[in-house]
Amino acid sequence: MTVFTKPRVHVKLSGVSPDDDSVIIDACHLNEPAFKWSEHVYKPSPHFLIMSCRPIANVDMPDPWVYSWNGIFYLTFTLGDRIEIWASNNIEDFNQPQKSLVWKPDGSGWAPGIWAPELHNINGVWYIYFSGEKPGQGPASHRTLILRSQSQDPMDPSGWQFVGPLQGVPDHWAIDATVFFIRNNLYCCYSGWPVGDNSDTEQDLFLVQLASPEQAMPETLVTISKPTYKWERPDGGKRGINEGPSFVEFNNVRGIVYSAHGSWTCDYKLGLLLLTGENPLDPKSWTKRDSPLLSSDRSKGGPYGPGHASFVPTNDGRVMCMFHCTFNVDDGWDNRKARVMCLDAKDFSPSASCCCCATGETPGDRPGGFLGKIINAIKK
């Protein structure tokens, strides 16, 4: 599917001549679901392919995570003091979702400061992985925490129980954990400071095999990515950031998409690590593309700074990519809305050009939020 630089949709229609096999229509006029599902694989109708790259709801949604299961899209994102799950049958419309408050840190021994929750169904059991901080110790104390549900319905708040920290990993700053299977083995990838380095100048990607969803195998821990490219390093190169990893597998593409550069800047972007070797625990099995997968372009207008993606494969060989972006150049951590684009396997090629999320809805370098201006002034 062609992704246009205007907030419109490319749709193939049956019964149209081969010389005119595509029609541009406004996504707002499409109310009928265009896709069918089977568990977590998205099955598009042969007549409609929708992807507007517009905000899926008029609320801030940093670090959006979407999980498709049995006809429903479950969404969770950073809310700071709690974890909610939202449900919709349309991945592009969470304006009136079903909502469920599934957890607050009260009485858990952990403080607010909850980042990047992810919902996973692992062998029939629902889990949420997220980052939490210790009371009175601030963001530097972030560790990977786990919730487990006793219910088959992830929207049932009574089923969720706090498990605690992921066991078997080093006691160091860790955020953005994600889990996935490769050849029936379960792995966890997360972003963290190098072990023993508390300078907050580098975030690497770590990979560890799990003996169970709650227990890592410490002897398997490896570093699979360091921020070595200029486009991964904010603050004039003084810091390096690889974070927000998400495993993607579709149409012979297998790898980890991650966020790079500063999340408080319009230069935030998505990078790509392709699994090119046989052993995921061998760092040499991962090949980093030298160009980003997805970024914004100030000359083309907003949105800006795409980051922290999650993916839903379709059964026609593509993948839907959800991410957050800001509306203005200097919004900083303000105004981060979730959007969706459809990507082809060719977009993940080692030699492919970087995709752009511009829709033309805002001009370049438009003044932004007050908080963003302060953040950017401090970070310069």
Residues 343/352, Cβ–Cβ less than 8 Å: no
- Extract the tokens encoding 81: 């003091």
Domain count, the chain: 1
Residues 116/78, Cβ–Cβ less than 8 Å: yes
Task: Please check whether residue 4 lies inside any domain of the structure.
Answer: no
The structure tokens 């792995």 sit at 187
The low-confidence residues of the chain, meaning pLDDT below 50, are 1-39, 42, 44-50, 366-376, 378-380
Task: Please check whether residue 1 lies inside any domain of the structure.
Answer: no
CATH number at residue 122: 2.115.10.20
Phi, psi of 65 (to 5 degrees): -125, 120
pLDDT tens profile 177-220: 999 999 999 999 999 999 999 999 999 999 999 999 999 999 99
Task: Please check whether residue 3 lies inside any domain of the structure.
Answer: no
pLDDT of residue 360: 73
Is this prediction's pTM over 0.75? yes
Task: Please check whether residue 292 lies inside any domain of the structure.
Answer: yes
Q: What is the rounded distance in angstroms from the CA atom of residue 189 to the CA atom of residue 196? A: 19
Residues 211/231, Cβ–Cβ less than 8 Å: no
* Residue span of the structural domain in which 262 resides: 9-379
**DSSP-derived 3-state class of residue 248:** strand
pLDDT tens profile 2-28: 332 223 233 332 332 333 333 222 222
Task: Please check whether residue 345 lies inside any domain of the structure.
Answer: yes
H or E segment to which residue 191 belongs: strand 185-192
pLDDT of residue 13: 29
The structure tokens 């977590």 sit at 40
**DSSP-derived 3-state class of residue 149:** strand
Task: Please check whether residue 266 lies inside any domain of the structure.
Answer: yes
- 46: cis peptide before it, omega within 30°? no
Q: How many CB atoms lie within 10 A of CB 29?
A: 7
pLDDT of residue 202: 98
pLDDT tens profile 88-102: 999 999 999 999 999
Q: What is the rounded distance in angstroms from the CA atom of residue 145 to the CA atom of residue 310? A: 19
Tell me whether strands 222-225 and 174-182 are parallel, antiparallel or unpaired.
unpaired
